[in-house]
Amino acid sequence: MYSVIIPTYNRHSDLYKCLSCFSEYFTVPESGEQPFTVEVIVSDDAKQNELKEYLSANFPWVRYFEGPSRGPAANRNNGAAQAKGEWLVFTDDDCLPGKGWLHSLHGMANQATVLEGKTIAERPRERLDEESPINFGGYLWSCNFAIKKSLFDSLHGFDENFPFAAMEDMDLKKRIDDEGAKIIFVPDAVVTHPWRRSRGMAFWGKQQKSEFYFWEKHKNLAPASLPRYYAYLGLRSLVKITIPGALKYRCRGLRNAIEHDAWLFSQSLRFLIRRPPKSSRG
């Protein structure tokens, strides 16, 4: 059995569109029975009875659970704890799994203990200030991957101690790699993720705290010099993204891109002057 885990928080319209993509697994195909069984678990951090009733009426095959309200990592772990399947399959409430998504994963299930799907956007990029976790191989984003439940449980799932919702999936991949588990990229297992506007300086600062926590956990991956690291990121972003993007997207979103590059350079100067603080957890 495949247990699909969908964490959600106050995005009802997006969630309904996502769930509509799973109807093919709960109807009998013309060729006969499905080659595998599926359950879909929704873990709701908003704990809304209205959503529970709507899902019961319109998606009766969904198993609904209240979330712990401690962030996306804990919400995913909560869904995984309710799962009955041998495989856990993760996606997000604003994603659209493609037709045959689970069939593609199932076709490779005997080849590895972790399956990484392809993540695309619904259209070409139009602005410098929009983002989407596009993946054509090499990134185990939490919006499109499958893992044996036994392995997930042995790793204790996603680390809920990250101070902000960022880097948890990279941390899980690092621990999977350390375990020596095999990861296979499945290009036909496609999920569409929407473009989202960049959340700005406040978000970058919070994300940085999660980066510090990640480096504290995995010291061998930490930059040798934070001033050089942030200077390099700022220069690379300016040369490879902001300048060509200003021409390509006719300056749409340029202000945000310049602010981001300036923030990176400011962090280089900041850590040149003083040592970075310890990450706070919570």
**pLDDT over 70, % of the chain:** 95
Rounded-to-integer distance, Cα 14 and Cα 238, Å:
33
Predicted confidence (pLDDT) at residue 277 exceeds the cutoff of 80:
no
28 and 160 belong to one structural domain: yes
267 and 137 belong to one structural domain: no
Backbone phi and psi for residue 66, each to the nearest 5 degrees, phi listed first = -70, 140
230 and 107 belong to one structural domain: no
Look at residue 76 and tell me if it is in a domain.
yes
| 5-9, 130-134, 222-226, 270-274: least confident range | 270-274
* Sequence-separated (6 or more) residues with CB below 8 Å from residue 270: none
Predicted confidence (pLDDT) at residue 281 exceeds the cutoff of 80:
no
- Cα dihedral across residues 232, 233, 234, 235: positive or negative: positive
Which residues are 117's β-sheet partners?
A: 186
Confidence category of residue 280, pLDDT binned at 50, 70, 90: low
DSSP 221: G
Rounded-to-integer distance, Cα 26 and Cα 201, Å:
44
Helix axes 226-237, 254-273, angle to 10 degrees: 160
State the pTM of this model.
0.92
Q: Count CB atoms within 10 A of the CB of residue 250.
A: 11
193 and 53 belong to one structural domain: yes
- Predicted confidence at residue 141, as pLDDT, reads 96
144 and 99 belong to one structural domain: yes
Contact 197, 130 (CB under 8 A): yes
The model's pLDDT over 32-86, given as tens digits with 9 standing for 90+, comes to 678 899 999 999 999 989 999 999 999 999 999 999 999 999 999 999 999 999 9
- Predicted confidence at residue 34, as pLDDT, reads 80
Look at residue 254 and tell me if it is in a domain.
yes
Predicted confidence (pLDDT) at residue 175 exceeds the cutoff of 50:
yes
Top pLDDT among 163 and 259 is at 259
- Predicted confidence at residue 178, as pLDDT, reads 97
| 20-24, 28-32, 106-110, 140-144: least confident range | 28-32
175 and 240 belong to one structural domain: no
Q: Which CA distances in Å does 107 have to 139, 185, 241?
A: 20, 12, 37
Q: How many domains does one find in the chain? A: 2
Q: Which CA distances in Å does 157 have to 3, 19, 142, 176?
A: 15, 24, 12, 10
Backbone phi and psi for residue 14, each to the nearest 5 degrees, phi listed first = -65, -45
- Predicted confidence at residue 282, as pLDDT, reads 45
11 and 78 belong to one structural domain: yes
21, two tokens: 């993509």
- Structural domain containing residue 243: 223-273
256 and 117 belong to one structural domain: no
Q: Which CA distances in Å does 37 have to 32, 48, 86, 197?
A: 13, 28, 10, 37
Predicted confidence (pLDDT) at residue 28 exceeds the cutoff of 90:
no
Which three-class secondary structure state does DSSP give residue 18? helix
Look at residue 279 and tell me if it is in a domain.
no
Contact 204, 192 (CB under 8 A): no
CATH number, domain of 160, equals: 3.90.550.10
Look at residue 22 and tell me if it is in a domain.
yes
129 and 234 belong to one structural domain: no
Rg of the Cα trace of the chain?
20
Binning the chain into helix, strand and coil, the percentages to the nearest 5 are 45, 20, 40
Look at residue 93 and tell me if it is in a domain.
yes
**pLDDT over 90, % of the chain:** 89
151 and 232 belong to one structural domain: no
Mean residue pLDDT across the chain: 94
Pairing of strands 114-120, 145-148: antiparallel
Phi-psi category of residue 160: left, alpha or beta, with phi > 0 → left and psi -120 to 50 → alpha:
alpha
State the amino acid at position 269 in one-letter form: L
